[in-house]
Structure 1
Amino acid sequence: MSAVYINSAACISVQDTLNDNFFDNLQPQNSSQVLKVIQPNYKEFIPPAMIRRMSKTVKMSSVASNYALKEAGIENPDAIIVGTGMGCSQDSERFLKNVLENNEEFLTPTFFIQSTHNTVSGQIALGLRCHAYNFTYVNTSSSLEFSMLDAKLQINDDEAENILVGSTDEQTDRTMELYKLNKTIKKEENLPVDYLNSTTEGVIWGEGSSFFVLGKDKTEDSYAQLKDIQIVNKLDLDETEKFIEDFLVKNNLTTNDIDAMILGFSGDSESDSYYKNASELFQNSSQLYFKHLSGEFNTASGFSTFMACHILKKQEIPEVMRINSVNNSEIKNILLYNHLGGNDHSLVLLEKA
């Protein structure tokens, strides 16, 4: 069975993560209901005529994938796999709006064609003229994890050597209005949020796009080795510790072997209980959190994976991510635990390359 390495990582997020100095300039975001990404100058990467026809998620993904491939030195990957929770929601909303405004008559198909979830992976493939395996996973908060698992299996089975894997989600005005109505997003009176000790329901919603090149061979610039992934849709609160312990046993590890644990604290008082239970197991590990930097959204784990890659490579932890004060002389193993609203729990184990 081949090892699988993360040979590049690129991220467009609420933070200035395309900047080389982003690691030292992370700014917590706890006072807005909705967080917007810092968008790059798309004209540097995409012809102006095409930009007008692209939704934000397609534009973000085109640029992030460009960065990831360039860093890995890969022109054409053996596969393109993208995970998304909401897909191209901007174009979905535009299509539905046209349906209503035109009484279901005289509709142009453009917005419908561009609203499908696999538009992102398709547009990347068109831009690269890549005819290889192309797949999109739509599994809410574990969409990236399923994408990485697919890529890992293909590399393990010698079906591919370098695979572009990404995750992306955008915001739309109407969806954000609905999320506020159903209390997914925090009420204004409950801001600012104390992510680690929140007593109110709801989250601060974000967006972003993260892309990685997973490869069979380790390079001089490899970030991490992708050791294992575990996903479960439903988990009772009292099963949290067993879920994690069983995963570690499967990988011949104990909690003491985990140098850093990245938890997805979102500020939602109910669902964050899972993370509090998990943290009890890792008293000797550096405990970190990240959604105060990225916001909560379906593929927020792309941001945590991106940060974990840089932590392993730099052997340094940003102070703004720390929950406790534990410091290990070497950061070899990082465990990432994430879910969305108490559903779709995932564990990702990364090892220093």
Structure 2
Amino acid sequence: MSPVYINSASCISAQDTLNENILQNLKPENSSRMLKAIDPNYKEFIPPAMIRRMSKTVKMSAVASHYALQEAGISKPDAIIVGTGMGCSQDSEKFLKNVIDNEEEFLTPTFFIQSTHNTVAGQIALGLQCHAYNFTYVNTSSSLEFSFLDAQLQINDGEAENVLAGSTDEQTARTMELYCLNNTIKKETDLPVDYLTSTTDGVIWGEGASFFVLGKDKTAGSYAKLKNIQISNRVDINEVIIFIQDYLTKNDLSAQDIDAVILGFSGDAKSDVYYTKAMEIFPDSAALYYKHLSGEFNTASGFSTFMACHILKEQQIPEVMMINDVKKEEIKTVLLYNHLAGSDHSLVLLEKA
């Protein structure tokens, strides 16, 4: 497939990513079990009567997509594609609670209707009065990558020129309780955590929404060129190096051509070994990590893509993200490697626009 351009990028996260000077104001967090996204003033974007009926993931996505379209100078995209791991879990929990409390009788359908995973893409389309291609991908930690692949296909096939693609996931009380019970989330006794040298299992859980406008043509404000994506559900620890090297070969690159590699170190000792192994391939590249800024969640790769876009555009790497001390005079190529608990491995190749 031909490359496409990322012409705008917007993110709501545990960092103040809606304001300027993003790379200079990043604050790591390693002492909380859960990181909440910083809420913008939703009343500036959504009528108060609608806000009450919206779950957090819908609100975050509505605002992030608004900023992405505004930055790209587009009122209506040719397609809306959203990736999510958990969907509108807040409304799902409310519906299930009603089922139990009312003993499966006299149920109102509202929470059920709003609990479906495609609610986010649908609400964005309703707000824009956009009747174009509308699709949602639910593929755990590779949901955004599948959305990008679809967007790339839409553009390459001439079905669209500008596509709004993004990812979103929210925290909900009951789900977080369950994640604590099954040790997906770290125990209090394991905090604070050193993300790079952790010896305990579990992660600090986050949330957020990231949206991008992908286009066929480069614009004055383009962040990056999206070259290629590869996804594999399972990769054995002994196959990591081959997995990455084969991907580089397919793209006519060597490890020396990668100026920066962004790895998804989450503080989970069991699954972070994949990233430690991957670092062996890139001794001459700037090695970066990011989940101490965003937390781990299904679509955390949206935050890393957002950061990679800013790194390529602004040509600077925040000290707080650096694993090694390799510094390049110019950052032309960035490779993103992510997975969730050892499954759904993704590689995303971005180049300077």
Q: Give the TM-score taking structure 2 as reference length.
A: 0.99
- State the 1:164 CA deviation: 0.1
User: What is the match of residue 161 of structure 1?
Assistant: 161
Q: What secondary structure sits across from 1:178 in the alignment? A: helix
Q: Distance in 2 between matches of 1:158 and 1:252?
A: 26
- State the 1:296 CA deviation: 0.1
Q: Deviations over 1:3-27 (max 9, x none)?
A: 3000000000000000112221100
User: What is the match of residue 259 of structure 2?
Assistant: 259
Asked if structure 1 preserves the Cα contact closer than 8 Å seen for 2:241 and 2:281, the reply is yes
Asked if structure 1 preserves the Cα contact closer than 8 Å seen for 2:3 and 2:228, the reply is no
- State the 1:157 CA deviation: 1.4
Q: How does 1:8-23 map to 2 (within 5 A)?
A: 8-23=8-23
Q: What secondary structure sits across from 1:276 in the alignment? A: helix
- State the 1:268 CA deviation: 0.2
Asked if structure 1 preserves the Cα contact closer than 8 Å seen for 2:265 and 2:272, the reply is yes
User: What is the match of residue 40 of structure 1?
Assistant: 40
User: What is the match of residue 64 of structure 2?
Assistant: 64
Q: Deviations over 1:286-343 (max 9, x none)?
A: 0000000000000000000000000000000000000000011110000000000000
- State the 1:234 CA deviation: 0.6
Q: How does 1:282-301 map to 2 (within 5 A)?
A: 282-301=282-301
Asked if structure 2 preserves the Cα contact closer than 8 Å seen for 1:206 and 1:296, the reply is yes
Q: What secondary structure sits across from 2:225 in the alignment? A: strand
Q: Distance in 2 between matches of 1:34 and 1:286?
A: 28
| Uncovered stretches (5+) of structure 2, i.e. residues with no partner | none
Q: Distance in 1 between matches of 2:148 and 2:99?
A: 36
Q: For residue 247 of structure 1, what is the amino acid of its counterpart? A: Y
Q: For residue 197 of structure 1, what is the amino acid of its counterpart? A: T
Q: Distance in 2 between matches of 1:160 and 1:3?
A: 14
Q: For residue 222 of structure 1, what is the amino acid of its counterpart? A: S
Q: Distance in 1 between matches of 2:7 and 2:220?
A: 9
Q: What secondary structure sits across from 2:18 in the alignment? A: coil
Asked if structure 2 preserves the Cα contact closer than 8 Å seen for 1:77 and 1:164, the reply is yes
- State the 1:110 CA deviation: 0.1
Q: Distance in 2 between matches of 1:319 and 1:156?
A: 37
User: What is the match of residue 345 of structure 1?
Assistant: 345
User: What is the match of residue 109 of structure 1?
Assistant: 109
Q: Deviations over 1:53-111 (max 9, x none)?
A: 00000000000000000000010000000000000000000000000000000000000
User: What is the match of residue 194 of structure 2?
Assistant: 194
Q: Deviations over 1:273-293 (max 9, x none)?
A: 000000010000000000000
- Structure 1 runs (4+) deviating above 6 angstroms are none
Asked if structure 2 preserves the Cα contact closer than 8 Å seen for 1:2 and 1:216, the reply is no
User: What is the match of residue 140 of structure 1?
Assistant: 140
Asked if structure 1 preserves the Cα contact closer than 8 Å seen for 2:271 and 2:341, the reply is yes
Q: Distance in 2 between matches of 1:331 and 1:255?
A: 14
Q: Give the TM-score taking structure 1 as reference length.
A: 0.99
- State the 1:2 CA deviation: 4.3
Q: Distance in 2 between matches of 1:220 and 1:120?
A: 29
Q: Distance in 2 between matches of 1:271 and 1:265?
A: 9
Asked if structure 1 preserves the Cα contact closer than 8 Å seen for 2:118 and 2:136, the reply is yes
Moved more, 58-67 or 153-162: 153-162
Asked if structure 1 preserves the Cα contact closer than 8 Å seen for 2:162 and 2:216, the reply is yes
Q: Distance in 1 between matches of 2:311 and 2:35?
A: 24
User: What is the match of residue 226 of structure 1?
Assistant: 226
User: What is the match of residue 122 of structure 1?
Assistant: 122
